[in-house]
Structures are given as structure tokens and as C-alpha cells.
Amino acid sequence: MFKINFNEPIHVHFIGIGGISMSGLAEILLKEGFTVSGSDRSASEMTNRLINCGANVIIGQKAENITDDIDLVVYTAAIHPDNEEFKMAQTKQIPMMTRACLLGQMMKNYRIPIAVSGTHGKTTTTAMISEILMKADLDPTITVGGILDSIGGNIRVGNSPVFITEACEYTNSFLEFYPSISVILNVETDHMDFFHNIEEIRTSFNQFAKKLPDDGLLVVNGDMDGFSSITADLHCRIKTFGLSEHCNYRAINIGYNMLGNGYYDLLIDGKQTLHIELSVPGAHNIVNSLSAIAVALELDIKEEDMKAGLLAFGGTKRRFEYKGEKNGIKIIDDYAHHPTEIKATLHSARNYPHKDLWCVFQPHTYTRTKAFLHDFADALSLADHIVLVDIYAAREKDTGEVSSKDILDILVNEYHKDAVYTPSFEEAQTYLLSHCQENDLLITMGAGDVVKIGENLLI
């Protein structure tokens, strides 16, 4: 196994360097003195930022990009063996590793590596903890799966032993990681193009927790189904969070302000301690914040810094992000693409001032849409009006087995909702402009490019 050592910089080439995670890792290596090159299919803000940081970024993936001076090639799961650069690296026998493997290797260069996992909430919770760490002047290195305004992007390179990252279960990639503190926010059915069932997913999270050393810490949701199987046979310390009496970190006296942002009183081991105020909406973010508090206090961060960090966190881009107002209609964008996330977002919207709630939903991947067809309809039924657009394929191909119209049929025939399907973004925009009214709340929702609909409405 090739090992990354920050004291011995080498030349690393990234195939697909413009991805939000790959670009972050590339930037860390640049600032640690590594030579970094990479390629991507098109230019973007990420590739431009890397060029400004000193990377050699090539638009277009071709064999000649793999030069003899490259010591290591890094690639993502989206890169297939027939990729020209991938094949050339193999031909030249250059060491290769996945993005997840590189991230795991990089974690070994920090004394306090923190990994945040879960089916939902990884980006938000990673950002919450990051804000707390910065308020406490711990100077962390951060890699987060969204754009965080306080660090001007998705990456921050610090000069301390503290490193924090998201840990995704897809393809078991987080089993490549080496954290000393891990967070498990929730474990639900997802990524059914890889996992076969919920038991297999829970086994994966159990294996992730077992990566912790004996003196490591697992911060885990004490209320989730399958808790005992996920925490079975662990030797590390365990702290639980949630709303039940048995949880170490618990919220009581929960309320919401006029913008839907939560506040509550914190119980630690049954004793009331602090009043917590958040700058993000929704009950799900109250639970997320409990895990962030557990990490912070276990690191001996002062209570005032912890509270200030949570209050400073106003969300990341594409997480209940306010985009603007058009004709008195407030437009929000949200990354939710799993039924549980959709429900959480739409429940959050109930506490936000509005007349009617509109949801424009773009399903993400055919596999997920087929697996959760009725669950999607059930979650979307929380909105007053639903506009469906075509499925965002991402890494998959359309086999014709499922479409957005299948969700529409369930919404109309079983839930009797006001729902429509529009084949194009332009038709969706025209429909919304003619039907939304003043004081309505419009949420564009999905992990694809549905955000463009709301942005185009504001032009």
C-alpha cells in the first residue's frame, strides 16, 4: 500500500480533479508542498481555484496527461478502467489509489482525525463542528462536501493536529479511513445499487466504528433503529446523542423562532446545562447539533466557544439555502434526495413564514427512485404543490424501468395532491411563474442541477 507522508512531498495526479472532494484533497496536498496535477472534463470554479493555488489542471482526459514524473495517480469511483489516463497509469505501473484511500492515508498525518458519517446530515454536521473548532481557535484542517462561507469554499488547511472530514458509506469507502473520533448520525436504507439490504448497511457502519482505536471515541445516535448491531463488539468509548432519556446528550424544551431556527436546553447525562440557539431550521438540525456538541465537549472546548460556533453556522450552500425573492415568492434550494431528507426539509419549511409550499423535485438516480418510489411520494405529499422534473441520472443509465411520472401517478391517485410533471426546466419555470402567488414558499430540491430552476426564476 502506497503511503502519503507530509514530510516527503511527491507528485500526485488526480483523474477528475474538479470534484468537490477531489479538489479539496488536492488543495491540502498543494499547501503541504506536494506537486499536484490533474484533469477534468470541463473547467469550473474548483479547477480555477486549484490553478490559482499552483496545480497543473488539464481540461480533457487523455493518455498523454500521465507523464513519467508522476509518483501517484488518484481516481474516483466515477472513473472506469477504460479511461485513457487510468489505462496509461496502469501501463506505466504508476501506483494508483482511490480518493477514499488517499483521504484515509492523509488522516494518518493528523493526531486528531474526526470523521462524520451517516445516511443524512454529514455535510451540515461536519460544518457545525468546523465552526466550533474555528471559534475555539483550534486551527483545524477541514474538508467538507459543501461550500461553507466562513472558509470560502469546501476546504481549509490549518496548522494543527485536528482534521475533520465527511465519511461516506457508498462502496464502503469510509472503511479506508483512520479516525480517532467518529460520528454516526443515522443509518438508513440508501445506495441500493451497491448494498443489498439494511442489514448489510448496518454491518458496514459497524465495521467503520471498529476502525476506531481502543482510546478512540464514537459519537452515535442513540435513537436510531439497529443501534445495538451497529455498536456491537466495539472497544472504543461510546457517547450517545438524541431525544430519548437514555442518551448522553439530549435536547429538551425545543422551540423555533420566526425563521424556523431551533433552540433548546441541553441535558448531559440527565443534567440540564446550557441553552442552545441555532441559526439553521428544522428538528433534524437540532439532532445534528447534539452530535457536534458531544464532539466539542469531548475535546474540552469551552462552552462559550461551542455555543458561539453553533450560532455562527448559518448553513452550507444547497442546504435550505435562501436564494432570493421573485414577485413576493421566497425561493429556497435544498440538496435533499432521500425520502427522510425530503421530509426533514419540508417539516422545516412549516416553521418558515409562508402561504402555500411549493416543491420542485428532481429525483437522483434511477436505482434510488425505483427503490423509494412510494416513500418519495409520501415525503413530497407534505408540500401543497409539487412539480416533478426528470430523474438526474448521475452515474447511471436509463433502462426505462422508472421515471418521475411514476411518482406523479402515486401523488395524484393515492395522495390526491396538486402535482404536475414538466419535461424541461423551461416548462417548469413557466408553470411556476403562472401558478405561484405572493407569500408562497418555493423549494427546489434534489442532488442534481434542479437548483438552476430557482436561479433562473430570479434573473
Instruction: Output the nine-digit C-alpha cell for 285.
Output: 438540525
Distance CA 305, CA 295 (A): 13
Annotated catalytic residue, options 27, 122, 141, 367 = 122
Cβ-Cβ contacts under 8 Å for 119 (sequence gap 6 or more) = 169, 185, 186, 187, 188, 189, 190, 338, 340
Under DSSP, the state recorded for 364 is B
Distance CA 395, CA 398 (A): 10
Asked if 25 and 99 touch (Cβ cutoff 8 Å), the reply is yes
State the residue for C-alpha cell 507522508.
5
Nearest of 136, 155, 138 to residue 146 by alpha carbon: 155
Distance of CA 278 to CAs 138, 270, 308, 314, 350, Å? 21, 21, 9, 8, 17
Based on the residue annotation, tell me whether 123 is a catalytic residue of this protein. yes
Instruction: Kindly report the three-state secondary structure assignment for every residue of 300-329.
Output: CCCHHHHHHHHHHCCCCCCCCEEEEEECCE
Distance CA 27, CA 36 (A): 8
Asked if 116 and 110 touch (Cβ cutoff 8 Å), the reply is no
With the C-alpha atoms ordered 233, 235, 236, 238, is the resulting torsion angle positive or negative?
Answer: positive
DSSP 216-274: -EEEEETTSTTHHHHSTT--SEEEEEESSTT-SEEEEEEEE-TTSEEEEEEEETTEEEE
CB atoms within 10 A of CB 414: 12
Paired residues of 182 in beta bridges: 115, 218
Instruction: Output the nine-digit C-alpha cell for 199.
Output: 442489514
State the residue for C-alpha cell 461510546.
238
Under DSSP, the state recorded for 377 is H
Asked if 108 and 177 touch (Cβ cutoff 8 Å), the reply is no
Annotated catalytic residue, options 27, 166, 176, 341 = 166
CB atoms within 10 A of CB 282: 25
Annotated catalytic residue, options 47, 85, 119, 123 = 123
Please name the helix (run of DSSP H) or strand (run of DSSP E) that holds residue 453, with its range, or none. Answer: helix 451-457
Based on the residue annotation, tell me whether 122 is a catalytic residue of this protein. yes
Distance CA 136, CA 443 (A): 34
The total number of residues shown for the chain amounts to 459
Active site residues: 122-123, 166
